[in-house]
Amino acid sequence: METVVSGIRSTGKLHLGNYYGALKNFVKMQDEYNCFFFIADLHSLTTHPTPHGLKETVRNVVVEYLAAGLDPEKSTIYVQSDVPEVAELYLYMNMNAYMGELERSTAFKDKVRANPNNVNAGLLTYPVLMACDILIHHGTKVPVGKDQEQHLEMTRTFSNRFNRLYEVDYFKEAFAFTYADKLIKIPGLSGQGKMGKSNGEADCIYLSDAEEVIRKKIMRAVTDAGPTEQNQVKPEAVQNLFDLMNVVSSADTLQHFDGLYNKAEIRYGDFKKQLAEDMVTATSEVRARIQEISQDDAYIAKVLKMGAEKAQASAQKTMKEVREIIGLKKLY
């Protein structure tokens, strides 16, 4: 059975983009593959070296993973720092990663521009740590978006370089994977492209948002003055809201409001109210599960303990073999 590995940074709550773009696929994958899903608290330190409330944000992500349908009996759900073998492999792989290739990483360049006062070594070697998350479990399928494709290409570079250097056929190549022909893009409410925390809290509908919070966010979403002629092209901000409606509303509802827009008769207030109610309905089940699971500390601890033990067993086997390949053998 092939292995799927995927992680999410522990710097905040999960939003609809995470839910429809990844988590729903994860739920399907766990029935067909050997799945490792982790909370990347070590990765978060590259941009938040002194994080506030890290324990709580890790807990929130675990709760939301479970609420979205991940099953700890089917998948291995764990916290990255609970598997110290990842850091050990990260050390060895850094010895075979070159400064030039790391500095050319598009993500690194973007982070430098965004955070010029925090250009640390961890940020530079981020692709190596990501590679180790995958290689430690011999992952071959990695659910990632287009922004991570270069990192995945670098993972293949590092794994192939290790094999050549030590003249082995040990690490397999990992490739991007999704069930859909094209990843679902969930737009944000700010009119600035896909939903994401980088555009501010108001851009995201979080899985844990209360019903009234969802309604307020939708009603405040960016639009324009409305169409002035029939069949007018929708501006990006308005198209984003129609794209959201396409995800959470019925086909008849979408067709109704699309028709009103094309006839230049749409009233955004009515449109947003309908979208808000459909959004509340679409997220009601997962929201209820979040509230239920978040109150069960014993269950959360059990899930993480079981996940850590399963992930450690896999990682320890890999590291034993890696040390032998490198030649790090005890002399006593």
Residue pLDDT, tens place only, 13-35: 788 888 887 788 889 899 999 99
Mean pLDDT is lowest, of 40-54, 61-75, 215-229, for 40-54
Q: Coil, strand, or helix at residue 5?
A: strand
The catalytically annotated residue of 13, 111, 217, 310 is 111
- 159-182 as b/e, with b when 16 or more CB fall inside 10 Å? beebbeeeeeeebbebeebbeeee
Question: pLDDT per residue over 171-209, tens digit each?
Answer: 999 998 876 655 567 888 887 778 887 777 788 999 999
Q: What is the pLDDT of residue 49?
A: 66
Catalytic residue check, 111: yes
Residue 232: band (very low, low, confident or very high) from pLDDT cuts 50, 70, 90: very high
Token couple for 65: 């993973």
The catalytically annotated residue of 24, 74, 194, 317 is 194
Instruction: Count how many residues are written for the chain.
Output: 332
What's the predicted TM-score (pTM) here? 0.85
Closest CA to 35 of 172, 140, 153, 149: 140
d(CA 24, CA 16) in angstroms, rounded, equals 11
Backbone angles phi, psi at 188, to 5 degrees: -90, 180
The pLDDT > 90 percentage for the chain reads 65
pLDDT of 10 > 60? The answer is: no
Q: Which of 41-45, 221-225, 248-252 is most confident?
A: 248-252
Q: Are 76 and 26 in contact (CB under 8 A)?
A: no
Q: What is the pLDDT of residue 12?
A: 65
Catalytic residue check, 197: yes
Q: Are 38 and 78 in contact (CB under 8 A)?
A: yes
Q: What is the pLDDT of residue 188?
A: 87
Q: What is the pLDDT of residue 146?
A: 65
Residue 299: band (very low, low, confident or very high) from pLDDT cuts 50, 70, 90: very high
Q: Give the mean pLDDT of 269-285.
A: 96
Q: List strands edge to edge, sheet with 76-79.
A: 76-79, 34-40, 3-9, 141-142, 175-176
The catalytically annotated residue of 197, 234, 273, 317 is 197
